[in-house]
Amino acid sequence: MSRLNRDQLVALAKSQIIEWSPQELKQHLDAGEKLTVVDIRERDEFVQGHLPSSTFIPRGHLELQIEQHQQDREAPVVIYCAGGVRSALAARNLQEMGYENVISLIGGFNGWKNAGYDFKIPTVLTEDQRIRYSRHTILSELGEAGQIKLLESKVLLIGAGGLGSPAAIYLAAAGVGTLGIVDFDTVDVSNLQRQILHGNKDVGRPKVESARDRIHDMNPDVKVIGHMEPITSANALDIIKDYDIVLNGSDNFPTRYLVNDACQFLGKPLVDASIFMFEGQVTVYDPNDANSPCYRCLYPDPPPPGEVPSCAEGGVLGVLPGIVGSLQAVEAIKMLAGIGEPLIGRLLMIDTLDMSFRTLKVRKNPECPVCGEHPTVTELIDYEQFCGLPSSVAHPNGQTTERELVLA
């Protein structure tokens, strides 16, 4: 074997491969050619900026991972490094694997940048985040890109109670970057049997505050926005509009119709769930899916007050919202990351007494007053009145009192 020094090895490599100048690469890309462009630099170099359509495979992983991105040995593969030396050497290794059209970029990323062409500075996980979310990023369905989507997402929770607690905790742990919480209630001892966001020390505190503390303790990445007010027709659109997805965990029908209608008007997916005693229901209404029903498609009219008992009357197994709220979190994460099949058009019925999970088909109602073909409800209405309750409009502070009357 002949002895080569560094320069001789590079010269040999360059004689055996194809090299393109940045201008040539640009022309090929502009012509719309399908090129696999691979950035083989180290991570800290890649995050400073890279070619717009490039895939990041550090040099040490190139041969091991290239087939995941391009299996076709005849397809052109462009590789680049910082200055064109490492990529020339790496190109030979791909040729050994049978890749026939490996091109090394002359001058590498610096050459590209100096030619004045566009490059992208990626959003990447910090060192801490890479460790924190490593069990996520290793899932090929999520990966680092999926985790970044979660970090950039905003989810609104209606209620920090039984359902909102586990949902908030898992969404926060999963790294959903912004969690809004609508709740004007304070923590009561009787909540602690199921509302795992709050603890003994929080009794008497506003739920949004104890929720914020608990969430920050779990994951400082998460920004918590507290909306400490009842959600009403006057503020619902304003509150919901800045979020990507809404999780409903409210305990009363006026709020359920209100949140449904507001989500429909704003085009926000709604992960809806309710619980009673040992039984739960979960489904997703997505106004962006033409076939998705909404809450009103399932339940065109509310039950008359008092006809359907509340949890305060009937009771609820403390673990039940833990299951159901966690399922809401799963659905939210799936939709935010764009993976799997959301629970749209399907109503999941859970009975924890016989431990049965059944999925029923639910359909869009073409005559639905909100999402149907000829909508008759096109703005938020008085939902207390719609549900046969005394309207709270005239009594800004009357809402809790009236709700309590209904529950009693």
Partner 1 sequence: MATLFVPTPLRRLTGGASKVEVQGDNIGALLQALDQQYPGVNERLLDGDGNVKRFINIFVNDDEIGSLQGLNTPVSDSDKVSIVPAMAGGAIV
Residue 150 binding partner per list partner 1, Zn ion, none, with a CB distance cut-off of 5 to 8 Å that depends on partner kind: none
Length of the chain: 408
**What is the Cα–Cα distance from 172 to 227, expressed in whole angstroms?**
17
DSSP string covering 165-193, please? HHHHHHHHHTT-SEEEEE---B--GGGTT
Residues in touch with Zn ion (CB under 5 A): 294, 296-297, 368, 371
For partner 1, which residue of 44, 96, 354, 373 counts as binding (CB under 8 A)?
354
Q: x/- contact string, 217-236, with partner 1 (CB under 8 A)?
A: -------------xx-----
For partner 1, give the closer residue by CB, 117 or 184: 184
Q: Which stretch binds partner 1 (CB under 8 A): 38-46, 84-92, 138-146, 346-354?
A: 346-354
Residue 368 binding partner per list partner 1, Zn ion, none, with a CB distance cut-off of 5 to 8 Å that depends on partner kind: Zn ion
**What is the Cα–Cα distance from 58 to 60, expressed in whole angstroms?**
6
Q: Which stretch binds partner 1 (CB under 8 A): 55-63, 119-127, 296-304, 389-397?
A: 296-304
Look up residue 316 and give its DSSP letter: B
Any idea of the CA torsion for 93, 98, 101, 102, to the nearest 10 degrees? -10
**How far is the CA of 30 from the CAs of 22, 38, 74, in angstroms?**
12, 17, 21
Residue 189 binding partner per list Zn ion, partner 1, none, with a CB distance cut-off of 5 to 8 Å that depends on partner kind: none
Answer for the pair 202, 210: CB distance below 8 angstroms, yes or no.
Answer: yes
Q: How far is the CB of 317 from partner 1 (least distance, A)?
A: 11
Answer for the pair 59, 40: CB distance below 8 angstroms, yes or no.
Answer: yes
For Zn ion, give the closer residue by CB, 294 or 387: 294
For Zn ion, give the closer residue by CB, 324 or 371: 371
For Zn ion, give the closer residue by CB, 105 or 258: 258
Q: x/- contact string, 54-93, with partner 1 (CB under 8 A)?
A: ----------------------------------------
Binders in 180-209 for partner 1, by CB under 8 A: 182-185, 195
Answer for the pair 214, 169: CB distance below 8 angstroms, yes or no.
Answer: yes
Q: Which stretch binds partner 1 (CB under 8 A): 87-95, 100-108, 156-164, 336-344?
A: 156-164
Residue 177 binding partner per list partner 1, Zn ion, none, with a CB distance cut-off of 5 to 8 Å that depends on partner kind: none
Which stretch of DSSP H or E encloses residue 128? helix 127-132
Name the residue among 259, 184, 180, 186 with its Cα closest to residue 226. 180
What is the arrangement of strands in the sheet containing 245-248, beginning at the earlier edge strand? Answer: 223-227, 178-182, 154-158, 245-248, 270-276, 279-285, 346-351, 356-361
Q: How far is the CB of 175 from partner 1 (least distance, A)?
A: 24
Q: How far is the CB of 169 from partner 1 (least distance, A)?
A: 14
Is residue 351 near partner 1 by the rule CB under 8 A? yes
Amino acid identity at 118: D
Any idea of the CA torsion for 379, 382, 387, 393, to the nearest 10 degrees? 160
For partner 1, which residue of 311, 333, 336, 343 counts as binding (CB under 8 A)?
311
For partner 1, give the closer residue by CB, 117 or 278: 278
Is residue 138 near partner 1 by the rule CB under 8 A? no
Answer for the pair 285, 269: CB distance below 8 angstroms, yes or no.
Answer: yes
Summarize as ranges the residues that interact with partner 1 (CB under 8 A). Answer: 158-164, 182-185, 195, 230-231, 248-253, 255-256, 273-279, 281, 298-303, 307-311, 314, 316, 321, 347, 349, 351, 353-354, 358-363, 365, 400, 403
